[in-house]
Amino acid sequence: MERKQRPTVVKSTHEILIDQLKTNLGHLSAVIEEQGKALFVEAGILGAQDVHEYTLEFLELFVMWLQAGSRIGARTPELAALEQFFSGFARQLQIRGARLETFVRYVQSLQRVLIEELEESEQYSFEQSREVLLLLARVFNQLVLDVFQAYLREKEQTIELQQEELRQTSTPITEIWDGVLTLPIIGSLDSSRAMIVMEKLLTRIEKERARVVVMDVTGVLAIDSQVSHYLIQMVRAIGLMGAEAILTGIRPDIARALTSLNIDLGNVTTRGTLSDGLKEAFRRLGIEVRVVARE
Amino acid sequence: MHLTPIGDGALLLEPGVALDPSEPDHYLTTILELLAERGCQRLIYDLRECVVVDEIYYGWLTRLASACRICGVEMVVANVQPAAAYTLARRLSDDPPFRCFLDVDRARCG
């Protein structure tokens, strides 16, 4: 088989890619768009017009990046623009419910299209083709990695926000009577949650001018020495604010565990149930709750 | 530092920002003398303006409470700010040697 004459001028990697794009821009654009449609339009993630616009934008930014010339390997503004495009694109896909792997498959398909075009052309030497392949692999891997890192960061932020929301909503402090606050604690009580609960509680005591706080721990699954320490701190903080604390809902198994841990709640007023705690709070305020006999 | 007799045998102490808690001896005699002079049974220490109660400040409070007790006067604290209550509660291993009240009115009647 007769081989074509190699060009006498040795072209750099980016020049080869620019040549290729110039020659086959229409074809490349069509193939990339087709790949995009297969991945996104058929799955109902993007419309055909969206894919068309994203394809054009990608090609435009890709050409701009190639035109950076000798600075192509460096972190140029053109590369930053390309990264920004992919980050925005990935975010749009996420918003529309696509999985990250769909995005990765799309980036791989872009890379594959460019490589296949290069393979079809026989005008470049093995070394030149290899250089182009390496450059494309490096850039696209970096782009995927950037997007993946951004995706992870966003996920972490979402989880943190959800945890914060859960913490805020899991400590409903209610003024059940004038000067009486109730605080049902549900779930586990770790350091950060204890901190939030205490801050919110002390602020509410000041705001409501509360005199008694009933803390109900019926919903706390286990109380170890650390949790009991937090509870004692809360009781002390309530006392420092000038209010009185009543601890209710300590289950028998928890009471047994506390004694085995040598934790002394001797200075803390305790009652078996929230109802008993409220009765005690009312008694301290001189409030009497009576059943009014019906006729 | 302001010392104001507020009736019912109580003296209100508003420390203000100029008070230096690291020098308790500067203030103790003045306060104790005034308490004796007025025949007060209760000193109400108002912490409204004090957001931070650190170790030195707490030391000053306990020293004053102790001196008052020796003179037959009860020192109580009013208006502990949430942030101060929070930090104190985390640091203390025992209950403080004075009673706390939400405000001065309650401290006077309590």
CATH 1.10.490.70 fits A13-164, yes or no: yes
Q: For B88, which residue in chain A has the nearest alpha carbon?
A: A237
User: Is A173's Cβ below 8 Å from some Cβ in B?
Assistant: no
Supply the ipTM of this predicted assembly.
Answer: 0.89
> What confidence category does residue A73 fall into, taking pLDDT thresholds of 50, 70 and 90?
low
Report the candidate in A74, A77, A72, A100 with the shortest Cα–Cα distance to residue A87.
A100
User: Is A203's Cβ below 8 Å from some Cβ in B?
Assistant: yes
**Closest partner CB to B86 (pick from A198, A239, A242):** A198
Mean pLDDT score, A201-221: 93
The domain limits of chain A are 13-164, 174-285
Helix, strand and coil in chain B, % to nearest 5? 40, 20, 35
pLDDT in tens, B3-44: 899 988 899 999 988 888 998 888 999 999 999 998 999 999
pLDDT in tens, A120-147: 767 777 777 777 788 888 888 888 888 8
User: Which one is predicted more confidently, A283 or A291?
Assistant: A283
Check A237 against B89: CB less than 8 A apart: yes
> What confidence category does residue A4 fall into, taking pLDDT thresholds of 50, 70 and 90?
low
Report the candidate in A81, A74, A77, A37 with the shortest Cα–Cα distance to residue A58.
A81
CA dihedral A216, A177, A265, B76 (to 10 degrees): 150
Mean pLDDT score, A262-274: 85
3 state SS for A239-293 = HHCCCEEEEECCCHHHHHHHHHCCCCCCCCEEECCHHHHHHHHHHHHCCCCCCCC
Confidence (pLDDT) at A9: 55
- Alpha-carbon distance of A229 to A234, in angstroms, equals 9
Out of 3.40.50.720, 3.30.750.24, 2.60.40.420, 3.30.365.10, the CATH code matching A174-285 is 3.30.750.24
pLDDT in tens, A29-44: 898 999 899 989 988 8
The domain limits of chain B are 2-109
A255: number of CA atoms within 13 Å, CB side? 11
Confidence (pLDDT) at A284: 92
Mean pLDDT score, A199-227: 90
- Alpha-carbon distance of A21 to A32, in angstroms, equals 12
Instruction: Using a pLDDT cut of 70, give the percent of chain A over it.
Output: 92
With 70 as the cut, is the pLDDT of residue A64 above it? yes
| CATH code for residues B2-109 | 3.30.750.24
